[in-house]
Amino acid sequence: MTHVGFVGLGNIGRPMAQRLAMAGDPAIGDVVVFDVVPEAVAALEADGAIAAASVTELAARVEVVCVMVRDDAQVRAVLDDVLAAGRPLTVVVHSTVAPETPAALAEHAAPRGVLVVDAPVSGGAMGAADGRLAIMVGGDEAGFAAARPVLDVLGGKVLHAGPIGAGTRFKLARNLMHFVAFTAATEAQRLAEATGIDLRALGDVVRYTDAITGGPGAIMHRETAAPIAPDDFWFPIMDAVRILGEKDLGYAVELAHEHGVEVPLAELALQRLGSGLGVGG
């Protein structure tokens, strides 16, 4: 049975900690929580968690400390407070930090017998509430094994991405696509609005069809981003995507120009779709 500490009870941290406190999983013992906002701690106490007066007090009572705070500086401060407890344990950093931060944290903690893994999450508050997060983990086998019972309660997909820092690089690549897609969505909304299309209806259709096709992830099946040889299995598939995409993007960009709507991402996509897919243009 693993006793777990959770530091940072914000928008995603709170449902994650709540999930641990209420899961009833036999692998999870006490769930001890800390946050600088007393009301957040009190809410978790009502769900069965144990309140700690400080991070150091929390670290003295658990084997695994999960950290979901705002930024790199807060993560470093939490780790220092954990180290002050003077116990060997495992720190799981769920916060999305700079690429070099996880390795620096692990190096700082190692002389004190503390393992660090970076385990950023994807899936938002909804995924956190029902244990369906995707969790991308970087760290050695010992750290991953220590964290695994906790991660299995929190996530529907737990991936050991590689050594320390790999989880963070994984998350940054995933979120690059996420927020570029959001920006593309704003272009589509402007085009729809300029041409008299209901924006809410457009959003409903996008969510409906992406749930069927997989959205951008539908093209992500290859093991390399290198150009595709003409005799490769994937060439005709990706070339068909290119042909359809260039046609539709061309029409969309033309329509946008007719209505005075700026769509720089769409124009760039039209230029780069074929080479990005690996089939040229």
Q: Distance of CA 177 to CAs 62, 181, 192, 215, 248, Å?
A: 36, 6, 22, 11, 20
- Cα separation of 95 and 142, whole Å? 20
Strands 133-138 vs 155-162: parallel, antiparallel or unpaired: parallel
List the catalytic residue out of 19, 94, 160, 171. 171
Closest by alpha carbon to 105, among 58, 168, 155?
168
Q: How many CB atoms lie within 10 A of CB 216?
A: 13
Residue 236: φ, ψ to 5°: -65, -30
Dihedral, 251, 252, 254, 258 alpha carbons, nearest 10: 130
- Whether 116 contacts 109, CB under 8 Å: yes
Q: How many CB atoms lie within 10 A of CB 83?
A: 20
Q: Distance of CA 97 to CAs 5, 108, 177, Å?
A: 20, 16, 17
- Per the annotation, the verdict on 171 as an active-site residue is yes
Catalytic sites, residue numbers: 171
